[in-house]
């Protein structure tokens, strides 16, 4: 079974790096797709790489080049663009979505969950379909949302690499049993914009320390940091925060 990787996020790079070190007899990595402005140099993975405009995956010349990889399965991990029907209808395309689907479909799932006060999420591996993040689920493993964003992503990477390996073996052995999502439990969120990171005077007056703390830590790098607009019109960015711990008598 031939696997083609596609990604541009740092956490996807780390998962892919783990996959390249697996010596499997029944599935092999045959190629990689990335973008010009990726967060990491995916070409360092030593795989035959195709650099694409992610909004032109349905271009016939791109499709022709993809066929050279002789793909059976695509892993679109950390991929922020629509995967065209011409690809996901012909090949099994999997994505990794860090939420307990069907909850928190859509963009910015980690940020939206932490800001909403969620303490636990899940690494979900699912099939790409017509609707965004609504395909059948191949794997779902819970993880904690507590701690800094770096710690949260470290958990995602560790679980993601382990679960992806299991899913690939299951598919290659015709043992995978994907599960349909319960549409009645679906929630959908929009991708956050830089202006959504602003904290106002009203926020400081109405939100609790925990809510403000979650807002700030959810928007650490590489995302648009939380900020306040000061008297001189300049933005003061807030990248970390601590909550006062009162001693109990």
Q: Give the SS3 label for residue 96.
A: strand
Both 18 and 132 in a single domain? yes
Both 34 and 124 in a single domain? yes
Domain containing residue 101: 2-189
Both 67 and 172 in a single domain? yes
Both 210 and 127 in a single domain? no
Both 116 and 133 in a single domain? yes
Position 246 scores a pLDDT of 74
Both 218 and 158 in a single domain? no
Answer yes or no: is 247 within a domain.
Answer: no
Answer yes or no: is 66 within a domain.
Answer: yes
Position 203 scores a pLDDT of 97
Residues recorded for the chain: 249
Answer yes or no: is 244 within a domain.
Answer: no
Structural domains of the chain, count: 2
Both 8 and 97 in a single domain? yes
pLDDT tens string, the chain, 249 residues long: the values are 999 999 999 999 999 999 999 999 999 999 999 999 999 999 999 999 999 999 999 999 999 999 999 999 999 999 999 999 999 999 999 999 999 999 999 999 999 999 999 999 999 999 999 999 999 999 999 999 999 999 999 999 999 999 999 999 999 999 999 999 999 999 999 999 999 999 999 999 999 999 999 999 999 998 999 999 999 999 999 999 999 887 655
Both 101 and 151 in a single domain? yes
Position 248 scores a pLDDT of 56
CB atoms closer than 10 angstroms to residue 148? 11
Q: What is the pTM of this model?
A: 0.93
Asked whether 144 and 155 are in contact (CB, 8 A), the reply is yes
Answer yes or no: is 245 within a domain.
Answer: no
**Whole-number Å distance between alpha carbons of 77 and 157:** 11
Both 126 and 230 in a single domain? no
Both 85 and 59 in a single domain? yes
**Residues near 110 by Cβ (< 8 Å), separated by ≥ 6?**
98, 99, 121, 145, 149, 152, 153, 218
Answer yes or no: is 78 within a domain.
Answer: yes
Burial of 192 (0-12, 13-18, 19+ CB in 10 A): middle
Both 50 and 135 in a single domain? yes
Question: Which CATH number fits the domain that encloses residue 132?
Answer: 3.40.50.170
Answer yes or no: is 246 within a domain.
Answer: no
Position 244 scores a pLDDT of 87
Both 118 and 203 in a single domain? no
């Amino acid at each position: 079974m031939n696997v083609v990787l596609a990604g541009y996020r740092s956490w996807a790079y780390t998962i892919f790096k783990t996959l390249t070190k697996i010596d499997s007899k029944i599935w092999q990595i045959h190629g990689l797709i990335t973008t010009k402005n990726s967060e990491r140099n995916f070409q360092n993975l030593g795989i035959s790489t195709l650099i694409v405009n992610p909004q032109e995956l349905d271009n016939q010349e791109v499709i022709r080049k993809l066929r050279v990889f002789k793909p059976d399965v695509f892993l679109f991990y950390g991929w922020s663009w629509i995967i065209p029907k011409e690809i996901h209808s012909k090949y099994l395309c999997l994505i990794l979505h860090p939420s307990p689907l069907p909850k928190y479909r859509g963009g910015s799932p980690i940020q939206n969950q932490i800001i909403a006060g969620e303490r636990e999420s899940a690494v979900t591996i699912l099939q790409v379909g017509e609707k965004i993040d609504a395909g059948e689920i191949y794997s779902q493993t819970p993880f904690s949302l507590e701690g800094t964003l770096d710690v949260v992503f470290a958990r995602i990477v560790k679980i993601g690499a382990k679960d992806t390996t299991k899913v690939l073996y299951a598919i290659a052995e015709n043992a995978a049993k994907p599960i349909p999502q319960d549409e009645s439990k679906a929630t959908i969120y929009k991708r956050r914009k830089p202006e959504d990171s602003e904290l106002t005077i009203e926020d400081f007056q109405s939100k609790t320390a925990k809510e403000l703390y979650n807002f700030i830590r959810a928007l650490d790098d590489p995302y648009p940091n939380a900020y306040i607009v000061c008297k001189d019109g300049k933005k003061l960015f807030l990248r970390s925060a601590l909550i006062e711990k009162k001693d109990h008598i």
